[in-house]
Amino acid sequence: MPRIKKLTAFEILDSRGRPTIWARCELGGGGVGEASVPSGASTGRAEALELRDGDPRRYRGLGCLKAVRNIQEIIADSLVGEELAEQQALDHALIALDGTPDKTRLGANATLAVSLSFARAAANASQQCLFEYLAAAIQNDTPHLPRPTINLFSGGKHAGGQVPIQDCLVVPVSARTIDEAMAMTFEVYQSAAELIAEKYGTRALTADEGGLAPPFPSVEAMFQDAVEAIRKAGLTPGEDVCIALDIASSQFFHNGRYFLDKEGINAKEMIQVLTGWQEKYPIVSIEDGLAEEDWEHWPQLRSAIGERCLVLGDDLLCTNPARIRKAIEARAANALLLKVNQIGTLTEAAEAFRLARSDGWAVTVSARSGETEDNWLADLAVGWSGDQIKVGSITQSERLAKYNRLLLIERQSGLTMRPMTGV
C-alpha cells in the first residue's frame, strides 16, 4: 500500500511569468512524481480558490508562497507516513484536511499539485504510464486519444480585446490521427498568419495561448478569416476542418445584457446571434455562449443549437459536480469543459467527468491560459478518453509540451483517436 515518504513544493513561473506551484511526491515503495499546476485568466466565479499571497510588494500579490507552505507544512505534516491505498484515498484526505467547499483553506493550487504529483508517483511505482494509471483510476478499459481543438485566433481577455469573444479554434475533423491533426492545423495556422499579414499588415503577434490577434473589424470578420485560412491551406471548411468557439461571455455580460458591442443585447438576442453564426459558419462547438449565472437561458441555447453543435460549459460548470448536476437537470448544456484546477483534485474532477458522461455529454479536457511545460494534461485526456482536448495554439512550448506528449503516446501506445463526437 503506498505511503507518502516525502512531499516538497516550490514556487515556479507559468507561461505568463506569474508564480505557480510545483510539487514532488516520494512514496515509501520508491515511486517519485513531480507536477506543476496551471492558472486561468478568464476564471469562473464558482472555481475553487487559487491561493495567492496578496503581498503587493512581491509579484504584485500573485506569489504562491502561502500555498507552498500549506503543502510543506499542513499537508506534509498530516499525510507523510499515512497509508493511502489509491488516488481516491489521497484526494479524500486532502478534501478533509481543507474542510471547505472551495479549498479556501489550503488553496486548490496546493491540493492539485499534491494530487497530481501523487498520481505520477503512484504510476511510477507501478511502472505504468501516467495515462494508464489515470485510466485505471476511473476503471476506463478503453483509453482513446482526444481530438485536438486548436486556438487560431484570440480575443477578449487573452488578447487585447480586439474582438470580445475569447477563442476561435480549429477542429481538424477529418484527421484520423493526432499526427494528421497537427499537420493539418500547422497549414491552417501558417495560412492564417500569412493572411493577416496581407490584410492587416501586422506581424503574427500572438495572445496568451498563442492565438493570432490582429485588429479584426468585427467578430464575423474573424470567422471569415478562419474559413479563408482553412481554404488557403488546401482544406475544405466543414469537411476537413471545423470551427469551435469560446465566447467566454461572462466577461462581457453586465446587468442582464451581452456587450458584443457598445449597445448590448439581451439573452434571447444573444441566442439568435449565436444560432446565426452556427448556421452560417462551420461551427461545431460553442463554449460559454451565455454567462455563468444566466441559468435561465442556457436551456434555450441548448434547444436552439444543441442538436448540431456542442453547447459547452466552462465558467457555467467550473468542473463542479453540483453545478453539472444542476445543468443536467435543466438541460442547460451537452458538453463539459473539464479543467482540473477549477476543482482542485483528480478525484473530484473524475466525479465531474462521470456525471457528464452519465447524461451522454461530450467532454473537452482543457488547459488554462497560464500553463507550464508540464504535460500531464495529455495523459489525463487520453486516460479518461476525453472527446476533445483544448490546449491553445500550435505554438509556444507550454502548449506544445501537451501536443508532443499526445504525439508520443500515439506513436508508442498504438491507441487511436476518438471519432468526431457530438455533431
Which residues belong to the active site?
A: 209, 339
3-state percent breakdown (helix, strand, coil) of the chain, nearest 5:
40, 20, 40
CB of 42 to Mg ion, least distance (A): 6
Q: Please provide the size of the chain in residues.
A: 423
CB of 413 to ligand 2PG, least distance (A): 27
Give me the residue whose beta carbon is nearest to Mg ion.
314
Q: How many CB atoms lie within 10 A of CB 58?
A: 12
Contact 390, 367 (CB under 8 A): yes
41 binds, among ligand 2PG, Mg ion, none (CB under 5 to 8 A by kind): ligand 2PG
- # binding residues, Mg ion (CB under 5 A): 2
CA atoms 367, 368, 374, 376: torsion sign: negative
Q: What would the DSSP string read from start to end of 163-196?
A: SSS-EEEEE-TT--SHHHHHHHHHHHHHHHHHHH
CB of 17 to ligand 2PG, least distance (A): 15
User: Which of 204, 288, 184, 198 lies closest to 246 in space, CA to CA?
Assistant: 288
33 binds, among Mg ion, ligand 2PG, none (CB under 5 to 8 A by kind): none
CB of 314 to ligand 2PG, least distance (A): 5
Window contacting Mg ion (CB under 5 A); options: 21-29, 79-87, 107-115, 240-248: 240-248
- Cβ proximity to Mg ion: between 76 and 336 the closer is 336
In which residue are the cell numbers 467566454 written?
Answer: 248
CB of 310 to Mg ion, least distance (A): 13
What element of type H or E holds 359? Answer: none
CB of 96 to ligand 2PG, least distance (A): 28
Query: How far, in Å, are 5, 10, 27, 123 from residue 31 at the CA level?
Result: 10, 19, 5, 8
- Cβ proximity to Mg ion: between 162 and 250 the closer is 250
167 binds, among ligand 2PG, Mg ion, none (CB under 5 to 8 A by kind): ligand 2PG
Interatomic CA distance for residues 293 and 288, integer angstroms: 11
- According to the binding rule CB under 5 A, does residue 410 interact with Mg ion? no
- According to the binding rule CB under 5 A, does residue 246 interact with Mg ion? yes
In which residue are the cell numbers 510588494 written?
Answer: 57
User: Which of 166, 223, 83, 82 lies closest to 337 in space, CA to CA?
Assistant: 166
- Cβ proximity to Mg ion: between 156 and 383 the closer is 156
- Cβ proximity to ligand 2PG: between 45 and 176 the closer is 45
- Cβ proximity to ligand 2PG: between 24 and 157 the closer is 157
- Cβ proximity to ligand 2PG: between 133 and 298 the closer is 298
- According to the binding rule CB under 5 A, does residue 292 interact with Mg ion? no
Residues that bind ligand 2PG (CB under 6 A): 40-43, 166-167, 209, 246, 248, 314, 366, 368-369
- Cβ proximity to ligand 2PG: between 278 and 369 the closer is 369
Compute φ and ψ for 26, nearest 5 degrees. Answer: -115, 125
CB of 260 to Mg ion, least distance (A): 16
132 binds, among ligand 2PG, Mg ion, none (CB under 5 to 8 A by kind): none
C-alpha cell at 63: 506569489
Contact 64, 19 (CB under 8 A): yes
15 to 74, contacts with Mg ion by CB under 5 A? none
Q: How many CB atoms lie within 10 A of CB 261?
A: 11
- Cβ proximity to ligand 2PG: between 31 and 392 the closer is 392
Contact 301, 311 (CB under 8 A): yes
302 binds, among ligand 2PG, Mg ion, none (CB under 5 to 8 A by kind): none
- Give burial (CB, 10 Å; 0-12/13-18/19+) of 128: middle
Contact 331, 60 (CB under 8 A): no
120 binds, among ligand 2PG, Mg ion, none (CB under 5 to 8 A by kind): none
Give me the residue whose beta carbon is nearest to ligand 2PG.
40
Window contacting Mg ion (CB under 5 A); options: 2-10, 138-146, 314-322, 382-390: 314-322
CB of 43 to ligand 2PG, least distance (A): 5
Residues 6+ apart with CB under 8 A from 346: 87, 91, 115, 116, 119, 134, 137, 340
Residues 6+ apart with CB under 8 A from 242: 170, 171, 173, 282, 283, 284, 423
Q: Residue from 209, 240, 294, 314 that binds Mg ion (CB under 5 A)?
A: 314
Residues lying near Mg ion in the complex (CB under 5 A): 246, 314
